[in-house]
Amino acid sequence: MQGSLTVKIAALALWALLLFAPFLFQDVRQIEVAARICVFIALVASYDLLIGYTGIVSFAHTMFFGFGAYGAAIALKQMGPGWTPVLLGAVSGAVVAAVIAAFIGLLSLRVKAIFFAMITLAAASVALVLASQLSGFTGGEDGMTYRAPDLFKPATKLLTDADGKVLNVLGVRMNGKLAAYYFVFIASALLFWAMLRIVGSPLGTVLKAIRENEARAEGIGYRVVAYRTAVFVIAAVTASLAGTVYAVWLKYTGPETALSFDIMIDILLMVVIGGIGTMWGAVIGATALVLAQYYLRDLMEVAAGATANVPLVPELLSPERWLLWLGILFILLVYFFPAGIAGTLMGKREAE
Amino acid sequence: MSLLSVKGMSVDIGQYSVLHGVSFEVPEGGVFVLLGRNGAGKTTTLRAIMGLWDPTPGSVHFEGSEISGLHASEIARKGIAYVPENMGIFGGLTVAENMVLATASGKYDGKRLEWIYELFPALKTFWSKPAGALSGGQKQMLAVARAIVEPRRLILIDEPTKGLAPSIIANMAQAFREISEDTTILLVEQNFAFAKALGRDMGVIEDGRVVHTGTMTEFAADAELQNRLLSLSGAEAPA
Amino acid sequence: MSGWVEKAGGVFLLPVLIAAVGFVLIGTPSSWLTLTVAGLSMGMMVFLMASGLSLVFGLMDVLNFGHSAFVSFGAFVAASVLAAMSGWLGSESWVLNLIALVLALMAAVGFGLVAGWFFERVIVKPVYDDHLRQILITMGALIVAEQIILTTWGGTPMNVPRPRFLEGSVLIGDSSIEIYRIFAFILGALVYLGLFWLLNSTRLGLLIRAGVENREMVEAMGFRIDRLFVGVFMLGSALAALGGAMWAGYQALITPALGAEMLVVVFIVVIIGGLGSIQGTLLGALIVGLTQNYVGFLAPKLALASNMILMMIILLWRPSGLKPAVK
């Protein structure tokens, strides 16, 4: 119980930092990092609901994320900035995600859970290829840029001083950028909260029962499939909504930001680092990896530069080899640290 | 000295303790019957002897040497054959291939095969057919035949009469009698009539412990004991 | 109705059916023949890549997401050997051509054997009975392997020289057929026959087939499946590397992304064919090869998606694939 409390306090502290991020970190890049952390917390939490509470591995989470992102992007591109296209994009992305998730789930979970990982991987690659090829619709490899709703324009004045200029509060300009950040923060926090609620709900209790004694649950037969498919659909819709949020924030959507397999690897790493099946671990995992992505890469660049005269070492330290180290880290984590940070602190293994 | 000696064997599956301290001795020769109701731990006992669980506390001695902790394949090489409850037939292989596989060298002894054909004539008929196409009774015959394709010291057989027609059960009883002339059989059974007809020595397992051992003659004569150990513990009434 | 279909070959008629549909849709016999040969040869190469994955899964219930790393490595190792021997490849003497080619393929196979052994011992063995961690770890290994390829061979596409005697094409009627494709088909068919013989006519094959069905029973009969498994894993990795090497020559230009691209195709093939049997894998590979080439001709953008749709249809019809191993 002690460890569990520590994890929750740490996660809440991170949330608090994110809440005040615009006031604490005023650099543009830092806000970019904070927004990315918010979105990935929601995304990773939804993935944890799937992998941690049903034990099935999906490689299509990026695809669902992409549905939401592309939904919003296409609507904003076609209809111009406004709230209607955002809403339309969010809803259509979520509906597509739900339908495809239900289809994949019923198709593959019905017979062999092992097919699931393979089929989701295949589906995700098809989605990626289609997004690149249907360029008239999706912008192809280059992706799409578009404008967000007017409220989020940097020129928008949320509060004005006596002269009608943008008001500064604690050195932060009360402009549209700030509104955009809080849109991301609130939406992500709501999605995370929803995941927490699901885990604590009767559905969550059933899922835990399935997780704890799958043999018994499988004895019940079809219900396991139904529950797993339901969870898969919920996770997919949540990922899609997170995608919409990120698309609105970035004002750009392309294969790299919304569909690429790299994002899937990020999600996997975050959920493993944080702790599979802990939900609160999502906050820790997402924060740790996004920070590493933004700052460790710089460090690698410096290190590669410093060792430029040594053979092979700069090659290995180059930021381009980032994925090599992530891959190795990933394998080591799964071997030696399978419970992740939150899982280890909460003493999940002992509790079982 | 007994052929097989099990002492304090315990098995946990997940968080459940299935066996806690099973001890019994199987003397050389004849049929030793292990009785008990569903879920008492009979199948688990056989699997544990065969080395199909992770190493467990307690000891299993076979012909005086410790076999607990050995890999299932090593235990098999010591001359123990196993006929599981689901028979473990390779349905995609022919009857012949099933038999060949059960030999250590890949060749079988023609004389012994003739003897097996006499015990189970159906196997000769279906020799080159896929084993998956056999009836339940024929599969059981194949499973037993595989176990005796080469001389063994001990055969562990798990509920061979389950779901079989009476005529096949009779065939099976006759076969076991012949086999047990030179091979010891450890038989797990719920069909008491079958067990009574075959068994020389016996034990009763209940809730993961052996609660009674003795000769079958004594046990069959003691209605009160049967009632207490089998009926009251939920086993099916003697047929 | 279903009786005579079963007699005539059952699901093995599917490639024929697809070829017939392709013939009607394509219209011109010469294009159809070219595409059919391309489809069959692609099918055979994909079969090489997929057969190991299928057997490894069947025998030990191990799903190796890193399998396509062997395909990539096979392609790059063979391409490097070919590049180093370009003098012999371009020689007038077909003997020198052949020696260079055989050396390249052997290098790929040798690498596959060694890498397979290493992979099985280090990556897969510690997580035999844990599907979740198995998927995660082998996926992590795939990422690392791809990065090693990137570091070793660089990110720019690599040219793969072909031996001179496999260059060019033959004319059959109006359709020109690349000699390399015929070669790939024949090689794949020979490997299939070899595997078929191994599995059906040797004691080792008997053990493998029995192990796929019921591992525990084979162990209770006195055999060590885990030791057998290392061998099967190495064999599967070597075949994947051979498939990759052949694929490299087929594509003539390879990138480190090759493995990941083929992984999806390989998965679709083993799912369609059914896990654990090489007949099923061959069937799935031929179906996918033909479909991909026909659709690639009729509607290029839908080639990959068409295989996905095909897989969905087949799964709805036969949830365990067309010809899975008996379990």
Nearest by CB: A331 against C144, C264, C270: C144
Q: How confident is the model at residue A111 (pLDDT cuts 50, 70, 90)?
A: low
Tokens of C105: 């393929």
Instruction: Return the residue of A nearest to C155 by Cα.
Output: A320
Nearest by CB: C220 against B82, B92, B93: B82
Q: Are A250 and A258 in contact (CB under 8 A)?
A: no
Predicted pLDDT at A1: 55
Distances (CA, A) of C32 to A50, C22, C25, C250: 45, 7, 9, 19
Model confidence at A19: pLDDT above 90: no
DSSP assignments along A238-276, one per residue: HHHHHHHHHHHHHSEE-HHHHT-HHHHHHHHHHHHHH-T
Q: C143 and A265 in contact by Cβ < 8 A?
A: yes
Lowest mean pLDDT among A301-315, C7-21, C183-197: A301-315
Predicted pLDDT at C110: 96
- Half-sphere exposure at residue A323, Cβ-oriented, CA atoms within 13 angstroms: 21
Report the pLDDT averaged over residues C82-95. 81
Q: A324 and C151 in contact by Cβ < 8 A?
A: yes
Q: Are C22 and C32 in contact (CB under 8 A)?
A: yes
Q: Give the distance from residue C279's alpha carbon to the nearest chain B alpha carbon, in angstroms.
A: 13
Say which residue, B14 or A124, is predicted with more confidence.
A124
Predicted pLDDT at A63: 94
Tokens of B130: 């896929």
Q: Give the distance from residue A307's alpha carbon to the nearest chain C alpha carbon, in angstroms.
A: 17
Nearest by CB: C206 against B72, B74, B97: B97
- Which pLDDT tens digit goes with each residue over A34-52? 999 999 999 999 999 998 8
Pairing of strands B184-189, B154-158: parallel
Which residues of chain B neighbour C213 with C-beta distances below 8 Å? 90-93
Predicted pLDDT at B57: 82
ipTM: 0.89
> d(Cα C293, Cα A230) in Å, to the nearest integer?
37
- All structural domains of chain B, each given as residue ranges with its CATH number in brackets, are 4-88+152-231 (3.40.50.300)
Q: Which residues of B114-146 are buried (b: 16+ CB within 10 A; e: fewer)?
A: eebeebbebbeebeeebbeebeebbbbbbbbbb
Residues 141-170 of B with CB under 8 A from C: 146
Predicted pLDDT at C8: 62
> d(Cα B141, Cα C250) in Å, to the nearest integer?
53
Q: B92 and C325 in contact by Cβ < 8 A?
A: yes
Tokens of A18: 């994110």
CATH code of the domain containing A181: 1.10.3470
> d(Cα C148, Cα C133) in Å, to the nearest integer?
22
Tokens of B185: 């059989």
Could you give the number of structural domains in chain A?
A: 1
Quote the distance between the C-alpha of residue B183 and its chain's center: 12
- Which pLDDT tens digit goes with each residue over C243-258? 999 999 998 899 988 8
Predicted pLDDT at C124: 87
- Which pLDDT tens digit goes with each residue over C90-111? 777 778 888 889 999 999 999 9
- Which pTM does this prediction carry? 0.85
Task: For chain A, give the mean pLDDT.
Answer: 84
Q: C119 in contact with A at a CB cutoff of 8 Å?
A: no
DSSP three-state, residue C88: helix
Which residues of chain B neighbour C222 with C-beta distances below 8 Å? 73-74, 76-77, 104
Predicted pLDDT at B233: 43
- All structural domains of chain C, each given as residue ranges with its CATH number in brackets, are 28-317 (1.10.3470)
* Residue A243 exposed, middle or buried by CB count within 10 Å (0-12, 13-18, 19+): buried
Task: For chain C, give the mean pLDDT.
Answer: 88
* Residue C27 exposed, middle or buried by CB count within 10 Å (0-12, 13-18, 19+): exposed
For A107, the domain range is 2-351
DSSP three-state, residue B18: strand
Quote the distance between the C-alpha of residue A7 and its chain's center: 20
Q: B90 and C209 in contact by Cβ < 8 A?
A: yes
One-letter identity of residue C318: R
> d(Cα A352, Cα B37) in Å, to the nearest integer?
30
- Which pLDDT tens digit goes with each residue over B92-145? 899 999 999 999 888 888 888 999 999 998 888 998 999 999 988 899 999 999
Q: C219 and B104 in contact by Cβ < 8 A?
A: no
Q: How many CB pairs under 8 A join B and C?
A: 60
Tokens of B235: 């086993």
Q: A313 in contact with C at a CB cutoff of 8 Å?
A: no
Predicted pLDDT at A152: 81
- Which pLDDT tens digit goes with each residue over A322-350? 888 888 888 888 888 888 888 878 775 44
Quote the distance between the C-alpha of residue B18 and its chain's center: 19
Predicted pLDDT at A351: 40
> With pLDDT > 90 as the criterion, what percentage of chain A qualifies?
26
Ranges of chain B whose pLDDT falls below 50: 232-239
- Residue A145's CB is within 10 A of a number of other CB atoms, namely 14
Predicted pLDDT at A67: 94
> d(Cα A152, Cα C6) in Å, to the nearest integer?
65
DSSP strands (E only) in B98-167: 154-158
